[in-house]
Amino acid sequence: MSASLDEVLQAIRTGIPLFLERFQECLRIPSISTAPENQPDMLRMSQWLQAEMRRIGLEHVQAYPTPGQPMVYGDWIHAPGRPTVLVYGHYDVQPADPLDEWVSPPFGAEIRDDYIFARGASDMKGQILAQLAAVEAWLAQGTCPVNLKYLIEGEEEIGSPYLDDFIRDHTDLLECDIVLNCDAMIHSAENPSITYALRGLAYFELEICTAEKDMHSGMFGGAVRNPIHVLTEVLSGMHDASGRITLPGFYDHVPTAEDDERALLAKAPYNDAAFLKTAGAFALYGEEGFTTLERLGVRPSLDVNGIWGGFQGEGAKTVLPARAGAKLSMRLIPGQPLDMVEKQLRAYLEAKVPAGCQWNLTCHSIGPGSVMHWKSPYMQAAADALKKVFGKEPFLRREGASVPVVRLLQERLGVDSVMLGFGQPDDGIHGPNEKQSLPVLYKGMESYACFLYNVGRLKPMSVHD
Amino acid sequence: MSASLDEVLQAIRTGIPLFLERFQECLRIPSISTAPENQPDMLRMSQWLQAEMRRIGLEHVQAYPTPGQPMVYGDWIHAPGRPTVLVYGHYDVQPADPLDEWVSPPFGAEIRDDYIFARGASDMKGQILAQLAAVEAWLAQGTCPVNLKYLIEGEEEIGSPYLDDFIRDHTDLLECDIVLNCDAMIHSAENPSITYALRGLAYFELEICTAEKDMHSGMFGGAVRNPIHVLTEVLSGMHDASGRITLPGFYDHVPTAEDDERALLAKAPYNDAAFLKTAGAFALYGEEGFTTLERLGVRPSLDVNGIWGGFQGEGAKTVLPARAGAKLSMRLIPGQPLDMVEKQLRAYLEAKVPAGCQWNLTCHSIGPGSVMHWKSPYMQAAADALKKVFGKEPFLRREGASVPVVRLLQERLGVDSVMLGFGQPDDGIHGPNEKQSLPVLYKGMESYACFLYNVGRLKPMSVHD
């Protein structure tokens, strides 16, 4: 049996009403992995997903148990001699709070104008369902241009605690030529993009303690150390006036971006006003000597993600606290050696925290960035697919965020990922009123179908072969 | 009828078992002024106090309503030609949390060794009851050396919102020659002390906002302002390396301590180790060129009392927050002009907060310090009383904390206060396991009796006459 790409694209368009029904059904399951009260919903979601995968014709669909949420697997491997694509996604979502900032219920999946609003709409149920819709259209024609395997996890939003073990224990099951990672974004419908690099992440918690117990600021203020003062001094000293991170040796092993890559990044249709609007921020800020896209892509960053100490309630309390703390994280550049980062932070703290103050530093997690072969035929297959559907050559971008699974799959399976998803930067993922543009998602379905078609015309090969 | 001081002191000693019973009964009423659920207890406490005042022979005892908790008043004005002493106290206490850090229940009034443990034991039910016990012993002998008036408020722990109005509207009722403020401490049983000056307090809340909404630190970190970074930079810059406050002009109008006053302060039986132990702090810190007692007494201070921003929960969340805030307060020196303090802080913020960041500063309260005529006969009467009972000349101290009522009574009634109370610095007021030394409190009763005796031998006169 054979099917033409045009027939498949037509089938996708015809199937949109049914797709929308299923998408809403899926979004109405509050699959919040972190919340104990949503555990039944997590189960319901994994079962819903398996049923959907079976319905469109995938085989060997099952939920592999882990100590946490199960991994949903399925495959279709009836394209001998063709490449095998491992599709990665996750079926869990972030908590929906702050609830009072949602215009429509977070699990109501309300459609307004061209958008569907729901927690998980963009990150990433929309992407999973769009990819399945593309495959459904292929299989409905009786075939698929490539072999497919699915790894849909249920704990991405809580840091994928069992994913590495699972991949390590199932390398045969997951063996493939390329990963299609749907947990991704494009820049916009007018300017599609493909991400080829991701920053790593190191996350720390710092506590400063200057006394056994809280004190009265009148009785002791001005004569003993205030841990909030020490903390603000230490944290504010982590950047110099030019926005550079001051930890000793921090930049020594950050790879320098070559001219051709800086030129590539400069091709992006970027402007300050649009970037600030997307961020919701009032002003740009960062390391001198680099553009905003370079600051996000080829330069590491250090942010305080949270800070606390003393009295935070209504009104006034004249407490001089005994302790204060902060969460801080660094975005690391692929190639930056992980084992030095904590040492550099500790060396800074040793030098900076005054005598007579206790401090404690905990590392919550540390993971490297990753960079893909952006000239590989799989990347080209994705670029061609976007060009065909969106009518414009996508630009290539490095992403500031971290997607640890990309690195895990590089390390365990030796394969690159193509990041192909159809969320947009202003979708408000993880925040209130998360949304997904429906017209863009429909183009996404077609793009996925084209991508599979393009890959099917390649000789099977890992990019590392 | 007449009574000798020795008979009165003997009566105080004999009455201790009964006093202890009443003290425990009083401590078991959880009169937390700030907690709505404790409003019935507040009423019970004011009624208990009125009954006790009537029992010992005070007259015109009544609760004057205010928009908040009532003011309990009573008097005994049968000593014509003698000075009138206005006794100030408060019947409310701080909340008891953190409850799990209490060894015995905060409203159990358990006695262990020489201490009684309860919220309010030291601050200040112990002081009120000790003063009433002294007066009971005098009145039981049929007389009192002075005229007495009582003003016991119920909202000191929440900032006395209606006290100023009440004093202003009742200047005739409260007319007196001197205030005996029992909401006070001594240094120790071995080294009694009298406080003659108090610092003022200005309390502010600062918020920095750099974006409309929280952002993802991967997508935007390193390219936009982080409000926690701005806040830590701003706060840490408020002190220079020598511990001086950097707000423009801040020290211009801080009165310089004269040599004789610095010599007076230096007489205190102070040592670093004991001070740190009392504070529970690990290290001294403060403005260069001044001793610890000078830093607390004659120099202003600035403390961040609370700070918050971003993610404070368990684990890791890579949020780049939109806003961060802090509570900060200054302890002001008597004579430091209040109207400049907020201006100085605003001038600093104008200069320091980078462009593109919104900031908002709220003043919660601002009140001046106060200083008493430490060579006045009333102060001498208190010093003589302490010397007789404790066997040692008390030293004179300036207190770092603020007692706004002292200044209100100076302004409205034109009278000084003698700060005479028997809490000690390590009583843990406002914290868990608040305690009061019973032997010290018994000496306090005798000291109060002697103080009244000594004042009774003075010609009535306000120190301002």
Per-residue pLDDT, A462: 52
Helix H or strand E encompassing B122: none
- Mean pLDDT of all residues in A276-281: 91
- Mean pLDDT of all residues in A111-116: 97
Structural domains in chain B?
5-198+370-456 (3.40.630.10), 200-254+300-367 (3.30.70.360)
- Provide φ and ψ at A44, rounded to 5°: -60, -40
Which amino acid does the sequence have at B172?
D
Question: Is the Cβ pair B224, A312 closer than 8 Å?
Answer: no
List B329's β-bridge partners, or say none: B203, B303
Dist CA B139 CA B52 (whole Å):
13
DSSP string, A239-307: B-TTS-B-STTTTTTSPPPPHHHHHHHHTS---HHHHHHHHTBS-B---TTS-HHHHHHTS-EEEEEEE
Per-residue pLDDT, A44: 98
**In chain A, what percentage of residues exceed pLDDT 90?**
84
Question: Is the Cβ pair A281, B224 closer than 8 Å?
Answer: yes
Burial of B73 per CB tally in 10 Å (0-12, 13-18, 19+): buried
Per-residue pLDDT, B433: 96
Per-residue pLDDT, B462: 53
Whether A210 shows a pLDDT value over 90: the answer reads yes
Dist CA B95 CA B35 (whole Å):
8
The separation between CA A178 and the C-alpha centre of its own chain, rounded to angstroms, equals 19
Per-residue pLDDT, B375: 85
Q: Does B95 touch chain A (CB under 8 A)?
A: no
Whether A1 shows a pLDDT value over 90: the answer reads no
B221 vs A315, higher pLDDT: B221
Q: Does B259 touch chain A (CB under 8 A)?
A: no
ipTM metric = 0.86
Minimum CA–CA partner of B399 in chain A:
A219
- Mean pLDDT of all residues in A339-347: 96
Whether A214 shows a pLDDT value over 50: the answer reads yes
Closest residue to B221, CB basis, from A275, A284, A400: A400
Residues of B acting as catalytic residues: 92, 156
**For residue A394, what is the DSSP state?**
P
How would residue A431 be classed by pLDDT, with cut points 50, 70 and 90?
confident
Dist CA B365 CA B367 (whole Å):
7
How would residue A35 be classed by pLDDT, with cut points 50, 70 and 90?
confident
Question: Is the Cβ pair A229, B236 closer than 8 Å?
Answer: yes
- Mean pLDDT of all residues in A289-312: 96
Per-residue pLDDT, B456: 96
Which amino acid does the sequence have at A37?
E
Q: Does A275 touch chain B (CB under 8 A)?
A: yes
Q: Does A356 touch chain B (CB under 8 A)?
A: yes
Closest residue to A304, CB basis, from B211, B226, B315: B226
List, as ranges, residues 197-226 from A with C-beta within 8 Å of B: 199, 201, 203, 209-226
Number of C-beta neighbours around residue A465 at 10 A: 9
Per-residue pLDDT, B2: 59
How would residue A460 be classed by pLDDT, with cut points 50, 70 and 90?
confident
Task: Find the radius of gyration of the CA atoms of chain A.
Answer: 24
User: By C-alpha distance, which of A420, A457, A448 is closest to A146?
Assistant: A457
Kindly give the interhelix angle for A126-140 and A438-456, rounded to the nearest 10 degrees: 50
Q: In what order do the strands lie in the sheet with A110-112?
A: A110-112, A115-117, A435-437
What is the three-class DSSP state of B354?
coil
Closest residue to A283, CB basis, from B231, B355, B399: B355
Q: Answer for the pair B208, B358: CB distance below 8 angstroms, yes or no.
A: yes
Q: Answer for the pair A319, A311: CB distance below 8 angstroms, yes or no.
A: yes
Number of C-beta neighbours around residue A172 at 10 A: 6
Structure tokens at B436: 């009061």
Task: Find the radius of gyration of the CA atoms of chain B.
Answer: 24
User: By C-alpha distance, which of A45, A62, A74 is closest to A139?
Assistant: A74
Quickly tell me which residue has 């260069």 as its tokens.
B288
Q: Answer for the pair B246, B351: CB distance below 8 angstroms, yes or no.
A: no
Mean pLDDT by 10 residues, chain B (465 residues): 84 97 98 93 98 98 97 97 97 91 96 97 98 98 96 94 96 97 94 94 97 91 96 98 96 91 89 90 95 95 97 89 97 92 97 96 92 91 97 93 91 95 91 96 98 94 53
Q: What is the mean pLDDT of chain A?
A: 94
Question: Is the Cβ pair A430, B216 closer than 8 Å?
Answer: yes
Q: Answer for the pair A9, A446: CB distance below 8 angstroms, yes or no.
A: yes
Q: Answer for the pair B49, B74: CB distance below 8 angstroms, yes or no.
A: no
Q: Does A270 touch chain B (CB under 8 A)?
A: no
- Provide φ and ψ at A369, rounded to 5°: -80, 180
Q: Does B173 touch chain A (CB under 8 A)?
A: no
Give the tens place of pLDDT for each residue, A384-394. Answer: 999 999 999 99
Give the tens place of pLDDT for each residue, A138-157. Answer: 999 999 999 999 999 999 99
How would residue A374 be classed by pLDDT, with cut points 50, 70 and 90?
confident
Per-residue pLDDT, B464: 46
User: By C-alpha distance, which of B127, B185, B122, B193 is closest to B427?
Assistant: B122
Question: Is the Cβ pair B224, A358 closer than 8 Å?
Answer: no
Q: Answer for the pair A228, A324: CB distance below 8 angstroms, yes or no.
A: yes
Per-residue pLDDT, A305: 96
SS3 of A165-205: the string is HHHHHCHHHHCCCEEEECCCECCCCCCCEEEEEECEEEEEE
First to last CA, chain A: 31
Mutate to test the interface with A, among B229, B303, B419, B434 (most CBs of A within 10 A): B303
